[in-house]
Structure 1
């Protein structure tokens, strides 16, 4: 069994389809998605439909992203809905549901709300890895992390988590289309909704697949992107798990 981790999708259903086809996952392989399924791209509806189907088979473990939280807030808060629509690309999300105005909120199926609200995790921890959408406080266990760190904090000179586990995250988009690999922290948001790529990382081997909306595919290895951190405290050991 292999495990594929996928970065921020942001409504790019075609890139997701191309990526999954290129990887050729088997029915018993696992997929972990790092959140931000909606907004910015053209087909948030299609992305959620694909993920819901994968989740029902037991193959997908989805995390929640800050853009998914923004969409959930817009469902019940009129002020949040206006902010989402005009400032956070909610108009693009609603257009994928049939009309480019806030009335389209009623077009979103309950299954889509249920997926975001009840099926997505805030974080995931395994023997060697910690998966989050945005970032971590390196001194705290997962159950004590703040919402700000988990969903909103950018990846700016992160320190290793005290557990020694490698953090894999999205959120901080890499406009050059290349993942960040510091050994103890890996970011695979590579700007799928812009002119970049949707990235999938197989954690057992370090193999990287990337696809874009046009159907272009490229492959590499996560160690191709390894960059030694410029400065760490003297007592901090760099963990290079892949």
Structure 2
């Protein structure tokens, strides 16, 4: 059976990515949708990018661009390394590229440039890194950076009355645009959850792999999910983005 699997924020944790692939028994027949933030945090960011480049040649993959990926792209393209990026995991990413030749760096840059801002499938399910503010949908967003930074979509879903029906006039208009919305960016740990979490019609797949949580992968049709070990246990000599 062909599955569609969605993967949360990885943040340089290649060991965790390997674990969830093994535990979910991922095969070349599976369609994989990655929600972004492949880099910054644990020590294997560049290795993850190379793995994903190779993976995309073997099976169908969709790569959404996260805010950390945009930072890394700017560094690869322009040499920009703002302190905000370096202090939020960028330092480990720069270090992971220390032995790379220019041809390899160019190849990785092209991969970042090809990433999508968002994806809508044939069942009107949206996949986006962070969110969008426009009630008319992401294609009408004034600031494209919202795709990678917006937290208000998730905050709205979390704050909603669970009894609110979709046909209510009070139901947020931007949530009505899609059957379901899959996001990352804001760790579910913030609301005390260690697993993929559903609020309204929004699924949050960022289960805190950058910090003390695990990396998650989920079958979007059956809701079955698999998780890695907590990242600090896989990288005991590192801090990730834990400060």
Both structures adopt the same fold (TM-score exceeding 0.5): yes
For residue 57 of structure 1, what is the aligned residue in structure 2? 58
What pairs up with 1:104-143 in 2 under 5 angstroms? Answer: 109-118=105-114, 120-126=115-121, 127-137=123-133, 139-143=135-139
The answer (yes or no) to whether the contact 1:94–1:105 under 8 Å persists in 2 is no
For residue 145 of structure 2, what is the aligned residue in structure 1? 148
For residue 5 of structure 1, what is the aligned residue in structure 2? 6
The answer (yes or no) to whether the contact 1:136–1:161 under 8 Å persists in 2 is no
Identify which of 210, 214, 217 aligns with 1:200. Answer: 217
Instruction: State which drifts further: 161-170 or 8-17.
Output: 161-170
Instruction: State which drifts further: 106-115 or 49-58.
Output: 106-115
Structure 2 unaligned spans of 5+: 158-171, 235-243
Structure 1 unaligned spans of 5+: 216-242
Q: Aligned-pair distance for 1:65?
A: 0.5
What pairs up with 1:213-224 in 2 under 5 angstroms? Answer: 213=231, 214=233
Going from structure 1 to structure 2, the CA distance change for 1:164 and 1:32 (only over 3 Å counts) comes to: closer
Instruction: Name the SS for the 1:35 alignment partner.
Output: coil
Instruction: State whether structure 2 residue 114 is matched by structure 1 residue 97.
Output: no
Instruction: State which drifts further: 147-156 or 5-14.
Output: 147-156
For residue 166 of structure 2, what is the aligned residue in structure 1? none
Instruction: Name the SS for the 1:140 alignment partner.
Output: coil
**TM-score, normalization by structure 1:** 0.78
Instruction: State which drifts further: 104-113 or 133-142.
Output: 104-113
The answer (yes or no) to whether the contact 2:76–2:105 under 8 Å persists in 1 is no
Q: Give the Cα–Cα distance (whole angstroms) in 1 for the partners of residues 120 and 6 of structure 2.
A: 13
Q: CA RMSD in A?
A: 2.2
Q: Give the Cα–Cα distance (whole angstroms) in 1 for the partners of residues 48 and 76 of structure 2.
A: 19
Q: Aligned-pair distance for 1:85?
A: 5.6
The answer (yes or no) to whether the contact 2:126–2:178 under 8 Å persists in 1 is no
For residue 27 of structure 1, what is the aligned residue in structure 2? 28
Q: Aligned-pair distance for 1:165?
A: 1.7
For residue 83 of structure 1, what is the aligned residue in structure 2? 83
Deviation sequence 1:45-83 (CA, Å, 0-9, x none): 1111111111122321111100000111223445x4142
Instruction: State whether structure 2 residue 156 is matched by structure 1 residue 157.
Output: yes
The answer (yes or no) to whether the contact 2:73–2:112 under 8 Å persists in 1 is yes
Q: Give the Cα–Cα distance (whole angstroms) in 2 for the partners of residues 81 and 148 of structure 1.
A: 18
Name which structure has the greater RCO, CA cutoff 8 Å, separation 6+. Answer: 2
Q: Give the Cα–Cα distance (whole angstroms) in 2 for the partners of residues 48 and 164 of structure 1.
A: 30
Q: Give the Cα–Cα distance (whole angstroms) in 1 for the partners of residues 86 and 104 of structure 2.
A: 18
Deviation sequence 1:12-62 (CA, Å, 0-9, x none): 000000000111122211010000001111110111111111112232111
For residue 40 of structure 2, what is the aligned residue in structure 1? 39
